[in-house]
Amino acid sequence: MSKESGLNKESTSMNDTMVEEVEERDPESNPLNEPLLKRNRTLSSNPLALVGAKVSYIESLDYEINENDLFKQDWRSRSRTQVLQYIFWKWALAFLVGLLTGVIATLINLAIENIAGYKLLAVVNFIQKERYLTGFLYFTGANFILTFVASILCVCFAPTAAGPGIPEIKAYLNGVDTPNMYGATTLFVKIIGSIGAVSAGLDLGKEGPLVHIGSCIASLLGQGGPDNYRIKWRWLRYFNNDRDRRDLITCGASSGVCAAFRAPVGGVLFALEEVATWWRSALLWRTFFSTAVVVVVLRTTIELCHKGKCGLFGEGGLIMFDVSDVTVNYNVIDIIPVVIIGVLGGVLGSLYNYLLHKVLRLYNLINQKGKMYKLLLSLSVALFTSICQYCLPFLAKCTPCDPSLSEVCPTNGRSGNFKQFNCPNGHYNDLATLLLTTNDDAVRNIFSTNTPFEYQPFSIVIFFGLYCILGLITFGIAVPSGLFLPIILMGSGYGRLLGMLMRPHTNIDQGLFAVLGAASLMAGSMRMTVSLCVIFLELTNNLLLLPITMIVLLIAKTVGDSFNPSIYEIILHLKGLPFMDANPEPWMRNLTVGELVDVKPAVISFRGVEKVANIVNALRNTTHNGFPVMDCGVVPATGVASEATELHGIILRAHLIQVLKKKWFLKEKRRTEEWEVREKFTWVELAEREGNIEDVAVTKEEMEMFVDLHPLTNTTPFTVLESMSVAKAMVLFRQVGLRHMLVVPKYQASGVSPVIGILTRQDLLAHNILTVFPQLSKPKRK
């Protein structure tokens, strides 16, 4: 697929008789001929990549339906059976997305629980024998090896598998074609890397990677497999377009959230609230169907695991934590601590976003130095994490077991709140309960209810401080990682602390305080409300939690929004992805699209029947993706009888390359018949975006021939008047999912082109516009 231009690229007009004039006007073919002032006014971006590899220019996706003659003929000729078949396969693919996501999520959970379980059993065995140094070396060495496997896969085979993947999915559904994000290699590395990184005890979760894994599965199913081994069955090729692929990836993202939290409605709402830019009712049903399939798969696996067929897999089920037994008891006066925890969540969430932004910028400088530095950074974080998790429990005092408890105390080799660690018989180490265990068990333990005296304040302070540090330094290393778990661990820490402080004055359980603390920090950092509320509601299975959860989430998000953007928006900015926000800047109302295209050179356009030489020269000398097609000397059906210039539509670069490859040339300048087009092209073929102009060979004789562009031209492009404000144009561009927006003159004078410019995604980005119009960012003096 060709690169699309920014404000300095989608430009310059073409005349069919003067190729030399094109070379003089086209800034891409001969930019040094442009005046210095004009070249300085062109737009550019300076992207910053999170994992060290610079993000170069990233093009947009073609979500718009290309309504050319072939498309219209195809829909007219489709029988009712073919339409039903198309609908059936849409639902079949949604079913497969949910099924495969559920199966892979199950395998990841089982692998992590067993690998981490056997590792911790061996460490506990050494501790029981008071071989503390041997246990430390074993624990650190195992974590080092697991991190090395996860990191080396990401560094050497699939750099795009590092991180959560949610910002890239959000950008893709916004229309940004992020390269190599949904390939088979990325999927494989994401699965193995998640198992290794989470089993190593790093402060990261599998929830974000599961969303990316679901999206990868959806993308591979929609396009028929990897690029090198793609299945090209006719029925499957109907889905090999950006529009249907977007819908499938939305289903995959919802299924990933559902697989992480076992919350089908929460998964659908997460896609709607957080990642999807474009939505419709039919997509709502398909995403819900996919998440329902995931839940069925997880429930089936839970039943098998309860029969002891899953090795060391615990009783918590295939979810991160189980708080369905939370005791809910609160009064009106308890609204005060609820408000306090909401405000704390907003303040701490925005502070976390600010500090993480600084850390990621530092990591970018380290990762840019090469693969070895990425690997060393990951291993250094793994060593620091292992040292803290093993050594810090020695600081905690041993607590005597309560003889009235029905639960076994102390315990070794199993999950629970009473790990013996280095304590004598009849005593337990509460800090070891939270640190020397898997992250999922740590969340389950700190969320446990009816445990007002099982954790000491000193231990919770150490737990909270440690995971604040680990939450900042772990995210950004070259391993698959999620943000949900670090934020939940931090939030539950200060939530439990607040519960201890407020215990004499409130009826709310300390475990419930931990749940509310986690929810408030997630809302304060990620700025999610509705989907997060439903996820917690589905986890707790208790409607009594709904009012206080809603209050906490709303307060935390409101407070957080007053300081900085959400963490995903910060990562999008760091990665240099051209994401279009929902709300335009206020100063965009003072700028028209006509003024925006004035800083660009004129548009390259083609005539309806164009010379092959002009098409080849335009494709070779520019990287534009779309070209207006116009016919001169057309007499309008109504109005004045004088001849006018007609805007027939816009034709894509990929279609022009297919014309050149298939040698669909005419010896004379004429319009083609409908049957001539159907003999050479099908609508399914035009959905492909493969091929480069460098791979096309055109002879000198063919250069003098002609091409009829009318049948392949999208006759219904989106056009806006030059007087429209940039703010309104940006909203239209984003909501419809455009790649090209044609700007037409307000007054059509004789001899004036019907198109005065083309706006693309890069043209409408705020920082790009301010490069050309810096005075807009400065407030006017009264």
Q: Which residues touch 452 (CB under 8 Å, ≥6 apart)?
A: 503, 509, 510
Q: What is the pLDDT of residue 46?
A: 30
Angle at CA of residue 646, ends 735 and 692, nearest 5°: 65
| Cα(669)–Cα(620) distance, integer angstroms | 23
Tell me: do 610 and 630 sit in the same domain.
yes
In this predicted structure, the answer to whether residue 296 has a pLDDT above a threshold of 90 is yes
How far from 609 is each of 22, 629, 683, 710, CA to CA, in Å?
Answer: 18, 9, 21, 8
Is 4 part of a structural domain of the chain? no
How far from 179 is each of 3, 60, 482, 662, CA to CA, in Å?
Answer: 12, 11, 21, 28
Tell me: do 529 and 602 sit in the same domain.
no
Q: Would you place residue 326 in the very low, low, confident or very high pLDDT band (cuts 50, 70, 90)? A: low
In this predicted structure, the answer to whether residue 683 has a pLDDT above a threshold of 90 is no
Tell me: do 477 and 546 sit in the same domain.
yes
Token pair 């977007």 is found at: 246
Is 491 part of a structural domain of the chain? yes
Q: Between these two residues, 664 and 310, which has the higher pLDDT value?
A: 664
- 574, 599, 627 - which closes a domain: 574
- 574, 604, 626 - which closes a domain: 574
How far from 570 is each of 49, 101, 146, 623, 758, CA to CA, in Å?
Answer: 12, 28, 29, 30, 29
CA 48 to chain centre: 16
In this predicted structure, the answer to whether residue 17 has a pLDDT above a threshold of 70 is no
Tell me: do 476 and 600 sit in the same domain.
no
Full residue range of the structural domain in which residue 522 is found: 332-374+393-574
Tell me: do 566 and 605 sit in the same domain.
no
Q: Which residues touch 706 (CB under 8 Å, ≥6 apart)?
A: 609, 610, 611, 612, 665, 666, 667, 668, 669, 670
- The CATH number linked to 617 is 3.10.580.10
Tell me: do 519 and 666 sit in the same domain.
no
Tell me: do 547 and 489 sit in the same domain.
yes
pLDDT digits (tens, 9 = 90+) for 157-215: 999 999 899 999 999 999 998 878 898 999 999 999 999 999 999 999 888 899 999 99
| Cα(292)–Cα(264) distance, integer angstroms | 6
SS3 at position 409: coil
| Cα(410)–Cα(405) distance, integer angstroms | 11
SS3 at position 681: coil
* Mean pLDDT taken over the chain: 83
- 546, 574, 602 - which closes a domain: 574
Tell me: do 654 and 708 sit in the same domain.
yes
Is 102 part of a structural domain of the chain? no
| Cα(184)–Cα(442) distance, integer angstroms | 33
pLDDT digits (tens, 9 = 90+) for 614-631: 999 999 888 888 999 988
Tell me: do 501 and 471 sit in the same domain.
yes
Tell me: do 474 and 563 sit in the same domain.
yes
Is 268 part of a structural domain of the chain? no
Tell me: do 600 and 662 sit in the same domain.
yes
Is 354 part of a structural domain of the chain? yes
| Cα(54)–Cα(735) distance, integer angstroms | 29
Q: Between these two residues, 184 and 542, which has the higher pLDDT value?
A: 184
**Sign of the CA dihedral with 218 first, then 624, 573, and 552 last:** negative
In this predicted structure, the answer to whether residue 39 has a pLDDT above a threshold of 70 is no
Is 658 part of a structural domain of the chain? yes
Q: Looking at the 3D structure of the chain, how many domains does it have?
A: 2
Is 451 part of a structural domain of the chain? yes
- The CATH number linked to 348 is 1.10.3080.10
Is 320 part of a structural domain of the chain? no
Q: What is the pLDDT of residue 13?
A: 39
pLDDT digits (tens, 9 = 90+) for 516-537: 999 999 999 999 999 999 988 8
Q: Would you place residue 399 in the very low, low, confident or very high pLDDT band (cuts 50, 70, 90)? A: confident
Tell me: do 659 and 602 sit in the same domain.
yes
